[in-house]
Structure 1
Amino acid sequence: MATELRLPAIEIRQGKNRRLYTFAVDGKELPSFTTVSRIFRGAEQKVEGYQRPEVLSHIAEIREYIESESPMIPNAIVVAFDQRVRFEPSKKAEETPYSHTGVLVIPIEKDQLDAMKPGWIVDGQQRAAAIRDAKVEHFPICVVSFIAQDAQEQREQFILVNSTKPLPKGLVYELLPVTEAKLPSLLQRRRFPTVLLDRLNLDADSPLKGLIQTPTVPGGTIRDNSLIKMLENSLSDGALYRFRIGGDDKGDVEGMLKVVKDFWAAVAEVFKSAWGVPPRKSRLMHGAGVVSLGSLMDAIADRHRQSGVPTRKQFKDDLEPLKDVCCWTDGHWEFGPGTIRKWNEVQNTHKDIQMLANYLLVKYKALVWNKAGGAA
């Protein structure tokens, strides 16, 4: 049977139409009307939810503190409510130009499934779990809330709230493609590359399908940040730049994806023994290899620029001569006089990536570009 939890609250007006509601509640009551929406892939591989899994060690530390003699948690938990929650302003309350006191009315139903609860914790998941598990009778907590239009608005607020905290980058990257809000400049620049990354990891015709490690594809062998760096470099001044329309989040997505898919399909075919294995066994799947090969993709596209975009066969033909000079899984890289590295000593550092990229470009110019007489 449904009941209502009525909590004294302050409505705070921000901007033209934003409303925040701040109130205090016994933290032990939070599970009765809030849940945590953890990130997962739903129907058609679309991103659903937005939270990270509970960090048990962190929860245990907070719980131990709550159970201590005089605990205090001054920072508020942030909750997104659906439109079943309403605010009733007080008729005789003192107002300011931006605030009004009243009552926040939250519907509660006994034994309600988590998915049906009216509130989602946007920030404070670990604190809420610690209060839930603590051996104390009560623990009042401050809550800042808003009434969201839909799940997309919840995800956007989750990113904005957590963007200045040590949130796992992979989680943010996976959420960026399904957000539309204006974000901090760094995240704004990253949004478009993550759109491409998402497609490369999920499209049925992608040679990278399931190979990019993300929160919802934990078994991937290539780190998401390595692919993002490769894509960012190409978008900035490489093969993908010509497909840009303007701005940080605009461009011919399908055209870009065709180039990247054709190139990596050719890489998989030419370097079969080094493909699809863990980075510790193959520097091709390692961050240094991925970013360096991105530079090679740009160089091959540049050689074929007069005839348009390289085909998968053209990528393959240009990669074949490099097969014998790459040491992805064994041997030694001969980077120059006095600079010889065992195959697995190349690290994912700026210096090593630059060294490997220069090596590949020099070999490509000597074995392909110059022999072919320049641009195709």
Structure 2
Amino acid sequence: MTDQQTLRLPALEVRQGDRRIYCFAVDGKRLHEFAAVSRIRRDDQEELHGYQRPEVSNHIKAIKRYLESPSAMLPNAIVLAFDSRVKFEATAPEAGGGYSAPGELIIPVDEELPEDQKPAWLVDGQQRSAAIREAEVDTFPVAAVGFIADDEAEQRAQFILVNNTKPLPKGLIHELLPNTKGHLPPGYARRQLPAVLMTRLNGTAAGPFYKAIATPTSPDGYIKDNSVLKMIENSMYEGALYQYRDERGGGDVERMLLHLNTFWGLVKEVFPNAWSKPPRSSRLTHGVGIQGMGYVMDKLTEDEPAEELDRGHILEKLKNIEVVAAWTEGSWHFGRDEERRWNGLQNTPNDVKWLTKGLLVMVDQNPLF
């Protein structure tokens, strides 16, 4: 039964370790009265809000058509993250082996609340819920599973874990990782600190990467986020950024940022034209160039503290590369028989290795011999 302020739904509380999940049914037409779709965005201070991917209109239309057909069925449960305003009241003792109890889920409903103040967020089922909302049907009950989360960071962690077996857009995962806490799969855990650095680089107004990295909240960026992540990860585990790591797997983020912004600021200074163009027009902003120059950073600045980086020395070495650079036109010649057209280099291990080897040779010599 419901009133204007409260929705009471029969539910089953299931105990999983020290956590509780709630299995229940609800009219899909009512989901948006209390549940918000927390689409990912950044505010003016570059703080991340939300975690959900944008709706895909064609997919929603296809589901809508199906829901309007005879005998439509959606057997998969929608997953919701509740805040502490949602309560569960048991109506009988635990049963089912002592790990479940029947009761009621009590959800406050106020349709005038803005999206970011609703008591529930959709973790999985965004497109299904949108299709139900738009479908020309009076009601459409759906199965749902909910959990009560402490904060939005925990909701992001659950969103990543729930969608771990699905092809989530990598860019969305990379942008969520910095503001996520709790257990993560090993591959994501390894990338969490690099993702923090990438996000900070993209949001540093005076930095060379400002808004240049393509992410869900920076759609006009032209440098692939994965290229920057690979560069940071390589340096963090085997290069110049390793010196800032700590025993717990974290690190001094501010000094890492200073190190990265100093070096890449000089790269931008030496190669302004190539830095301003997208990867299809410049191999400097392409994955092969970002990774290759990342290894140059490691060679020139390894074991050098961020506060003591010798800008003059780095500039001198980068200008050695400038003499032979073919980022946007021409061909690369590294004093060997092999010649490579500028746009013949691709983001493959062999091409990254070939370019890196040549760049490292050039920074160690004066090409004007």
| TM-score, normalisation: structure 2 | 0.93
Provide the rounded CA distance (Å) in 2 between the counterparts of 1:306 and 1:207. Answer: 20
- Greater Cα shift, 159-168 or 217-226: 159-168
**2:315 is equivalent to residue 343 of structure 1:** no
- Greater Cα shift, 86-95 or 58-67: 86-95
Gaps of 5+ in 2: none
> Who is 2:280 aligned against?
280
RMSD between superposed Cα atoms in Å: 2.2
Q: What is the total number of aligned residue pairs between the two structures? A: 366
- Greater Cα shift, 108-117 or 346-355: 108-117
Provide the rounded CA distance (Å) in 1 between the counterparts of 2:343 and 2:126. Answer: 40
Could you tell me whether the CA contact under 8 Å between 2:92 and 2:101 is conserved in 1?
A: no
Provide the rounded CA distance (Å) in 1 between the counterparts of 2:306 and 2:259. Answer: 14
- Alignment CA distance shift 1:344-1:147 (3 Å): same
1:284-320 deviation per Cα after TM superposition (whole angstroms, max 9, x unaligned)? 1111110110011111124x75999533332212111
Provide the rounded CA distance (Å) in 1 between the counterparts of 2:58 and 2:171. Answer: 20
SS in structure 2 opposite 1:70? coil
**2:71 is equivalent to residue 82 of structure 1:** no
Shift of the alpha carbon at 1:12?
Answer: 0.8
Could you tell me whether the CA contact under 8 Å between 1:39 and 1:216 is conserved in 2?
A: yes
Question: What is the letter of the counterpart of residue 209 of structure 2?
Answer: L
> Who is 2:20 aligned against?
19
> Who is 1:331 aligned against?
330
- Greater Cα shift, 41-50 or 284-293: 41-50
> Who is 2:321 aligned against?
322
SS in structure 2 opposite 1:174? helix
SS in structure 2 opposite 1:181? coil
> Who is 1:73 aligned against?
74
Could you tell me whether the CA contact under 8 Å between 2:22 and 2:145 is conserved in 1?
A: yes
Matches within 5 A, 1:347-362: 347-362=346-361
1:172-191 deviation per Cα after TM superposition (whole angstroms, max 9, x unaligned)? 11111112212110000000
SS in structure 2 opposite 1:149? coil
SS in structure 2 opposite 1:78? strand
Could you tell me whether the CA contact under 8 Å between 1:221 and 1:276 is conserved in 2?
A: no
1:214-233 deviation per Cα after TM superposition (whole angstroms, max 9, x unaligned)? 11111112111100000011
- Alignment CA distance shift 1:322-1:104 (3 Å): same
1:74-125 deviation per Cα after TM superposition (whole angstroms, max 9, x unaligned)? 2111111122211110136745311100011111124443233221101110
> Who is 1:374 aligned against?
none
Shift of the alpha carbon at 1:26?
Answer: 1.5
Provide the rounded CA distance (Å) in 2 between the counterparts of 1:307 and 1:216. Answer: 29
SS in structure 2 opposite 1:226? helix
- Greater Cα shift, 23-32 or 105-114: 105-114
Shift of the alpha carbon at 1:34?
Answer: 1.0
| TM-score, normalisation: structure 1 | 0.91
> Who is 1:10 aligned against?
12
Question: What is the letter of the counterpart of residue 263 of structure 1?
Answer: F
SS in structure 2 opposite 1:13? strand
1:161-213 deviation per Cα after TM superposition (whole angstroms, max 9, x unaligned)? 12221111111111111122121100000001011111111123322111111
Could you tell me whether the CA contact under 8 Å between 1:22 and 1:143 is conserved in 2?
A: yes
> Who is 2:103 aligned against?
102
Taking only the aligned residue pairs, the percentage that are identical comes to: 49
- Alignment CA distance shift 1:204-1:334 (3 Å): same
Question: What is the letter of the counterpart of residue 133 of structure 1?
Answer: E
Provide the rounded CA distance (Å) in 1 between the counterparts of 2:120 and 2:82. Answer: 4
SS in structure 2 opposite 1:23? strand
1:330-370 deviation per Cα after TM superposition (whole angstroms, max 9, x unaligned)? 101236766433211211222221221122112223338xx
Gaps of 5+ in 1: 372-376
